[in-house]
Amino acid sequence: MPAIVRIENLVKNYYMGTVTVHVLKDMHLSFDEGDFVALMGPSGSGKSTLLNVLGCLDRPTSGSYYLGDVDVAGMTDDQLSEVRSTYLGFIFQSYNLLPQYTVVENVELPLLYQGIKLDDRTKARCIALAEMVGLGDRLDHRPLQLSGGQQQRVAIARSLVNDPHLILGDEPTGNLDSRTSVEIMQMLRELNRSGKTIIMVTHENDIASWARRVVRLRDGQVESDTRNDTRLVVEMN
Ligand SMILES: Nc1ncnc2c1ncn2[C@@H]1O[C@H](COP(=O)(O)OP(=O)(O)O)[C@@H](O)[C@H]1O
Ligand SMILES: [Mg+2]
C-alpha cells in the first residue's frame, strides 16, 4: 500500500510574545492508504495540532508533509484550501453544522466552497449520502431538530461529498453517549472497509479499539505505534 500521508522532521512551534511553545518535536510518521488510525495521548500532547497540520488547516514550522506525492508544507493559503476541498474530509467533535441550513444543504456545503455549481445532480448526490447515513427521513430538518448522533451523521455525509482521499476526525464521538458512539464508529468502520483512509483523534481506549492502528503522542513526540489487528492475531495464536 502506498503512503497517503508522510511527515518527516515535522516541527510545529507557537510563538507567544517572547515565548516559543514547542508543540510537535521532530515527528516522523507515515500512514498507508486504506488505514484507520487513532491518534491518542494526554491532553496537550499535540493531537489536535498534528491533525490541523495533516488537515492543511495549519502549517508546520519546519519539516515535510507529503499528502500522496505532493509536499504540502510549503503551499500558499490558496493552494492549501484547494487541497482541503478536493482531498480531505473533516469530522469535528462539535459537528460544525450551519444551524440555518437543512440536512441536505449542510451536506452540500463543501461543494459550494469548492466553487461547484449546485444542480439536480449534486443535490441527488447529497440526498443519497444523507440516506446512506440513515437520515433519509430528515432531509429538510435543521441541525437543532436533530439529536447529537444525527448531527454527527450529517457531518459524516458532508465529509464524503467531495469523495475525499482522507477523512480526519477530531474526537468525533466526544460529545456522544456510548451507544451513539458505537453507531458512529460502526459507520466509520464501514467507510474504512469501503476503502477510505481515516485518521481520528480520541482519548478513549474504547473508541481507539475500532481503529486498525493506534499512535500515541506524548509531549509532541510519538510514544508508541501499535496495530490493533496484529495484536488480535497474536492473541488468537
Ligand atoms: N494556537 C496556539 N498557540 C499557542 N499554544 C498552542 C496553540 N494551540 C495549541 N497550543 C499548545 O500546544 C500544546 C498542544 O495542544 P493540542 O494540540 O491542542 O493538544 P491535544 O489536542 O493533544 O490536547 C498545548 O500545550 C497547547 O497549549
Ligand atoms: Mg485536542
Give residue 237's pLDDT: 46
pLDDT above 70: residue 141 = yes
Q: What is the CATH number of the domain that holds 90?
A: 3.40.50.300
Residue 230 confidence (pLDDT) above 90: no
Among 27-31, 113-117, 166-170, 197-201, which is the least confidently predicted range?
A: 113-117
pTM of the entire structure? 0.93
Please tell me whether residue 58 adopts helix, strand or coil conformation.
coil
> Relative to the CA of 16, which ligand 1 atom is closest?
4
Residue 74: its pLDDT value, please? 85
User: Position of cell 440516506?
Assistant: 131
Q: How many CB atoms lie within 10 A of CB 145?
A: 13
pLDDT of residue 1: 65
C-alpha of residue 16 to centroid of ligand 1, in Å = 12
Pick the atom of ligand 1 nearest to 201's CA: 21
Give one DSSP letter per residue of 177-218, joined into a string: -HHHHHHHHHHHHHHHHTT-EEEEE-S-HHHHTTSSEEEEEE
Q: In the structure, which protein residues have their CB atom closer than 6 angstroms to any atom of ligand 1?
A: 14, 16, 21, 23, 41, 43-49
Integer Cα distance of 5 and 30 in angstroms? 5
Task: Look at residues 141, 67, 81 and name the one whose alpha carbon lies nearest to residue 114.
Answer: 81
- Whether the CB-CB separation of 165 and 68 falls below 8 Å is answered with yes
Domain of residue 97: give its range: 3-236
- The number of domains in the chain is 1
Q: Which amino acid does the sequence have at 178?
A: S
Q: Cα(237) to centroid of ligand 2, in Å?
A: 37
Atom 5 of ligand 1: nearest residue by CA position: 14
